[in-house]
């Protein structure tokens, strides 16, 4: 079961979203073990993975919403609950349901903040910034990036801070001041010891 789960998480590294389907095997194993929680863990991660990889299935949002109460009540700070919220945020944004997307995304961000894990904080905050940009709200997107920068200062190392600045310049140029700011950031990164 856990091997299938870990294999699914390698999809991004391997560049192969079909690895996410190894969670179908995990679901079958959990069903054979008569363990509904493990079956729902595999389902939730599979749905999130498909949305994250751009291969969402019909009815994804409904299935994730069905899983939400169980994980919220039993495992409120779990990685799976974080994934359900991220999946719902991404899926809602795809359907231009921005209010729901922001709500779910903010809840996921708050979980990541409680963990104090910079990678997951970054992933959730970038998602929220992208949603605000899709809404045509670059100032609000910039606020998420500013908060993310503060987390990098608090938790990160020099190389992480430089990576954040470079990523923000490339991915969110409209939030940091345009071309002149990008040139200044890249120049600083290039000359940083």
The tens digit of pLDDT for each residue in 75-96 reads 999 999 999 999 999 999 999 9
pLDDT of residue 4: 95
Inform me whether the pLDDT recorded for 193 exceeds 70: no
Q: Which are the contacts of 59, defined by CB distance < 8 A and separation ≥ 6?
A: none
Phi-psi region of 137 (alpha: psi -120 to 50; beta: other; left: phi over 0): beta
- List, for residues 100-127, the tens digit of each pLDDT value: 999 999 999 999 999 999 999 999 999 9
- Reported confidence tier of residue 10, pLDDT bands at 50, 70, 90: very high
- List, for residues 123-152, the tens digit of each pLDDT value: 999 999 999 999 999 999 999 999 999 999
- Range 148-165 average pLDDT: 86
Query: Any long-range contacts for 98-106 (C-beta under 8 Å, 24+ apart)?
Result: 98/131, 98/134, 98/135, 101/131, 102/128, 102/131, 102/132, 105/131
Inform me whether the pLDDT recorded for 169 exceeds 70: yes
- Reported confidence tier of residue 66, pLDDT bands at 50, 70, 90: very high
**Can you say whether the dihedral through the CA atoms of 82, 87, 93, 99 is positive or negative?**
negative
Please tell me the number of Cα atoms within 13 Å of 178 on its side-chain side. 1
């Amino acid at each position: 079961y856990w091997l299938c789960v870990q294999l699914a998480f390698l999809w991004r590294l391997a560049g192969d979203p079909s690895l996410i389907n190894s969670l179908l095997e995990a679901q079958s194993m959990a069903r054979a073990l008569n363990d509904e929680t493990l079956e729902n863990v595999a389902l939730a991660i599979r749905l999130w993975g498909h949305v994250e990889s751009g291969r969402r299935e019909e009815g994804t949002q409904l299935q994730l919403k069905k899983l939400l109460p169980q994980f919220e009540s039993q495992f409120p700070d779990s990685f799976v609950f974080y994934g359900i919220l991220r999946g719902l945020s991404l899926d809602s944004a795809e359907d231009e349901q921005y209010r729901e997307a922001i709500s779910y995304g903010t809840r996921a961000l708050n979980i990541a903040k409680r963990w104090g894990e910079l990678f997951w904080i970054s992933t959730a905050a970038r998602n929220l910034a992208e949603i605000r940009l899709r809404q045509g709200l670059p100032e609000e997107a910039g606020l998420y990036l500013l908060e993310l920068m503060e987390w990098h200062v608090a938790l990160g190392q020099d190389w992480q801070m430089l990576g954040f600045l470079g990523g923000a310049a490339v991915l969110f140029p409209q939030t940091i001041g345009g071309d002149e700011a990008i040139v200044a950031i890249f120049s600083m990164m290039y000359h940083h010891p």
